Amino acid sequence: MAIWAKIKQLNLKQTFILGKTFLFRPGLLFPTYRATRQTVQICNRLFGKAHHKNNKTNAFRHALWNFLIAEKSFPQLNEKTKAIAWAKEITDLHEKLSPNPELPRTMDLHNNEVGRSLFQQEITSKKIIEKLQEMMKEAQFVNQVAEIPNYPERLVYIESLKN
């Protein structure tokens, strides 16, 4: 996921929505960008292109992304609840601007929440990769939206790594 390539794909309305989001919080632009870039770099290094599918590596990426956005925006916001709310706002916006079918979107939103929950638990950035790799071993395969709420503390995925 090349960040600028994704931004270039936005239509005028989507670009306006994204710009407006950062207009009122300009200090969060660079921390959010750095978190996004770091997430992609880590996932590329660990998983190659596999994290672009709806598998366990994608679940890892979404959780890590939310954790890192919250972590990197925390110094600017000075409150964990605000950093978590920002991570939710920006990643929910991502899901809105680049919509998926219902099952992959719900999966992404769920894994985003897992990442924010880990940030709230005060796991260090040095331990988050190890923690998420452990969580991948217990990730739950789902094939219906209704199943996802049954796994509030676990990563979920909808495709095997072979796809």
pLDDT in tens, 89-141: 999 998 988 878 999 999 999 999 999 999 999 788 889 999 999 999 999 99
Tens digit of each residue's pLDDT (9 = 90 or more) over 45-93: 999 999 989 999 999 999 999 999 999 999 999 999 999 999 999 999 9
- What pTM does this model have? 0.90
CB 29 within 8 A of CB 69: no
User: Rounded CA gap, 77 and 100, in Å?
Assistant: 30
The strand pairing partners of 141, in sequence order, are 157
Q: CA-to-CA distance for 22 and 7, rounded, in angstroms?
A: 14
